[in-house]
Amino acid sequence: GVMVRADVTKEIEVRTIIPPEIEKLPWAGHIGIKLVEHVIPIIENSESTLLFTNTRAQCEIWFHRLLDQAPQLAGTIAMHHGSISRELRHWVEDALYNGELKAVVCTSSLDLGVDFRPVDSIVQIGGPKGVARFVQRAGRSGHRPGAKSKIYFLPTHSLELIEAAALRQAIKDNYLEDRVPYFLTHDVLVQYMMTLAVSEGFDEEAVYKEVISTHAFADLTREEWEWNLRFITSGGTSLRAYKEYRKAVVEEGKYSVVDRRIARRHRMSIGTIVGDHMLNVKYNRGKTIGSVEESFISRINPGETFWFGGRNLELIRIKEMNAIVQNSKKKSGRIAVWGGGRMSFSSNMTEMLRYKLNEIESGSIKDVELLKLKPLIDLQQERSHIPSMDELLIEYFETKEGYHLVFYPLEGRLIHEGMAHLIAYRISQIEPRSFSMSFNDYGFELLSDAPIPIQEALESDLFDETDLLKHVQASINAGEMARRKFRDIAVIAGLIFRGYPGMPVRERHLQSSSSLVFDVFEDYDPENLLLRQAYNEVIDHQLEMVRFRKLMKRLRNQRVVLSRPEKPTPFAFPIMADRLRQRLSTEDVEDRIARMSIDYTD
Question: What are the pLDDT digits (tens) for 364-412?
Answer: 889 999 999 999 999 999 999 999 999 999 999 999 999 999 999 999 9
**Mean pLDDT confidence for 18-29:** 76
φ/ψ of 325, rounded to 5, equals: -135, 170
Specify whether 257 is located in the same domain as 311: no
Q: How far apart are CA 359 and CA 438, in angstroms?
A: 27
Within 13 Å, how many C-alpha atoms sit on residue 572's CB side? 32
List the domain range (segments joined by +) for residue 194. 186-274+477-542
Please state, for a pLDDT cut of 90, what percent of the chain lies above it: 49
Q: What is the pLDDT of residue 354?
A: 94
Strands 77-80 and 121-125: unpaired
Of 232-236, 262-266, 362-366, 591-595, least confident by mean pLDDT is: 591-595
Using the predicted structure, report yes or no on whether residue 205 has a pLDDT greater than 60.
yes
Would residue 358 count as lying in a domain?
no
Q: What does pLDDT average to over the chain? A: 86
DSSP assignment string, 468-522 = HHHHHHHHTTHHHHHHHHHHHHHHHTTSS--EETTEEPPHHHHHHHHHHHHHHHH
Of 111-125, 140-154, 348-362, 574-588, least confident by mean pLDDT is: 574-588
**Mean pLDDT confidence for 317-324:** 83
**Mean pLDDT confidence for 224-231:** 96
Q: What is the pLDDT of residue 140?
A: 84
pLDDT confidence tier of residue 342, bands split at 50, 70 and 90: low
Please indicate whether residue 83 or residue 572 has the higher confidence score (pLDDT): 572
Specify whether 453 is located in the same domain as 571: yes
Q: Which of 515, 542, 569 is the last residue of a domain?
A: 542
**Mean pLDDT confidence for 155-180:** 90
Specify whether 431 is located in the same domain as 572: yes
- What are the pLDDT digits (tens) for 76-93? 999 888 767 678 888 888
Q: Which of 172, 206, 222 is the last residue of a domain?
A: 172
Q: For Cα atoms 339, 299, 334, give the angle at the middle one, nearest 5 degrees.
A: 80
How far is C-alpha 423 from the chain's CA centre? Answer: 21
Q: Which residues make Cβ contacts (< 8 Å) with residue 33, sequence separation at least 6? A: 61, 62, 65
Please state, for a pLDDT cut of 70, what percent of the chain lies above it: 88
Would residue 353 count as lying in a domain?
no
- Does residue 122 contact residue 134 with C-beta atoms inside 8 Å? no
φ/ψ of 123, rounded to 5, equals: -120, 120
Q: What is the pLDDT of residue 287?
A: 82
Q: How far apart are CA 333 and CA 295, in angstroms?
A: 17
pLDDT confidence tier of residue 26, bands split at 50, 70 and 90: confident
CATH of the domain at 133: 3.40.50.300
Residue 251, SS3 per DSSP: strand
- What are the pLDDT digits (tens) for 495-512? 887 666 555 555 555 556
φ/ψ of 85, rounded to 5, equals: -60, 150
Specify whether 562 is located in the same domain as 526: no
- What are the pLDDT digits (tens) for 92-110? 888 888 889 999 999 888 8
Specify whether 193 is located in the same domain as 51: no
Specify whether 156 is located in the same domain as 65: yes
E-only strand ranges, 238-300: 249-251, 254-256, 278-283, 288-293
Select the highest-mean-pLDDT range: 141-155, 354-368, 385-399, 474-488.
385-399
Q: What is the pLDDT of residue 364?
A: 87
Specify whether 84 is located in the same domain as 197: no
Q: What is the pLDDT of residue 419?
A: 93
pLDDT confidence tier of residue 339, bands split at 50, 70 and 90: low
DSSP assignment string, 566-599 = SS--TTTHHHHHHHHHHHS-HHHHHHHHHHHHHH
Q: Which of 141, 172, 203 is the last residue of a domain?
A: 172
Three-class DSSP labels, 115-139: CCCCECEEEEECCCCCHHHHHHHHC
Using the predicted structure, report yes or no on whether residue 259 has a pLDDT greater than 60.
yes
**Mean pLDDT confidence for 519-536:** 92
Q: Which residues make Cβ contacts (< 8 Å) with residue 354, sequence separation at least 6? A: 389, 410
Q: What is the pLDDT of residue 585?
A: 46
Q: For Cα atoms 535, 340, 125, give the angle at the middle one, nearest 5 degrees.
A: 145
Specify whether 18 is located in the same domain as 106: yes
Would residue 229 count as lying in a domain?
yes
Q: Which residues make Cβ contacts (< 8 Å) with residue 67, sequence separation at least 6? A: 73, 74, 77
Would residue 586 count as lying in a domain?
yes
- What are the pLDDT digits (tens) for 445-467? 999 999 999 999 999 989 999 88
Would residue 5 count as lying in a domain?
no
CA dihedral 351, 353, 357, 363 (to 10 degrees): 100
Within 13 Å, how many C-alpha atoms sit on residue 176's CB side? 9
Would residue 547 count as lying in a domain?
no
Count up the domains in the chain and report the number: 4
Q: How far apart are CA 192 and CA 228, in angstroms?
A: 11
Using the predicted structure, report yes or no on whether residue 288 has a pLDDT greater than 90.
no
Q: How far apart are CA 215 and CA 143, in angstroms?
A: 31
Would residue 579 count as lying in a domain?
yes
Specify whether 528 is located in the same domain as 503: yes
Bridge partners (DSSP) listed for residue 530: none
Specify whether 472 is located in the same domain as 492: no
Using the predicted structure, report yes or no on whether residue 596 has a pLDDT greater than 90.
no
Using the predicted structure, report yes or no on whether residue 590 has a pLDDT greater than 80.
no
- Does residue 297 contact residue 277 with C-beta atoms inside 8 Å? no
**Mean pLDDT confidence for 355-363:** 92
**Mean pLDDT confidence for 348-376:** 92
Would residue 196 count as lying in a domain?
yes
φ/ψ of 290, rounded to 5, equals: 170, -155
- What are the pLDDT digits (tens) for 411-427? 998 899 899 999 999 99
Q: What is the pLDDT of residue 587?
A: 45
- What are the pLDDT digits (tens) for 540-561? 887 888 899 999 999 999 999 9
Q: What is the pLDDT of residue 385?
A: 96
Specify whether 299 is located in the same domain as 269: no
Specify whether 25 is located in the same domain as 141: yes
Element (H, E) at 106: strand 103-106
